[in-house]
Amino acid sequence: MNLSEQQIEERALLAKQLFRDGMNCAQAVVGACCDLFGMDDRDTAMRMAAGFGGGMGRMRLTCGAASGMFMLAGLQNGTTTPHDNEGKMANYTLVQQLATQFRTTYGSLTCAELLGLAPRPADAPQCRKEPCVEMVAEAVRIVLRSVQ
């Protein structure tokens, strides 16, 4: 993948738009980029990411934008061979790098901490915080720059 900064920014803007249109944070990241990672079926990608929004099922655990990056990392270099330890480690290394960059930017990978909120039950009202819009865009930038 060899994307210009303008192309990366266009994908970041697409992620923002998907989020503003009602997709969750994980769906916004995955939906904005899945085709670049060989997954042309956006509907399947969106269904795959659906449970990761709001910090994993709206429980405010691992940030959905970060989870979206990790799903894309799996599409980039995830292994499908059961005992491919080298492949697993390559993917884990990429995920750890992505996590470090996100944490360096925002201070945490935990949804509740990022939003300054307590963890909550899954039936609480949906979060549509403005910081999330920027986080999905930055998650796209991080993942696309990391796989160049």
Backbone region of residue 54 per phi and psi (left: phi > 0; alpha: psi in -120 to 50; beta: other values) = left
State pLDDT tens for residues 133-148: 999 999 999 999 999 8
Q: Which two tokens stand for residue 104?
A: 């360096």
pLDDT of residue 40: 95
**Res 126 pLDDT > 90:** no
Residue range 21-40: mean pLDDT, rounded: 97
* Helices and strands, counts by H and E, the chain: 7, 0
Of the pLDDT bands very low, low, confident and very high (cuts 50, 70, 90), residue 123 is low
pLDDT of residue 120: 59
**Res 122 pLDDT > 60:** no
Domain limits of the chain?
A: 5-146
Residue range 64-81: mean pLDDT, rounded: 97
**Res 7 pLDDT > 60:** yes
List phi, psi (to 5°) of 62: -65, 130
DSSP string, 28-84: HHHHHHGGGGT---HHHHHHHHGGGTTTTTTSS-B-HHHHHHHHHHHHHH---STT-
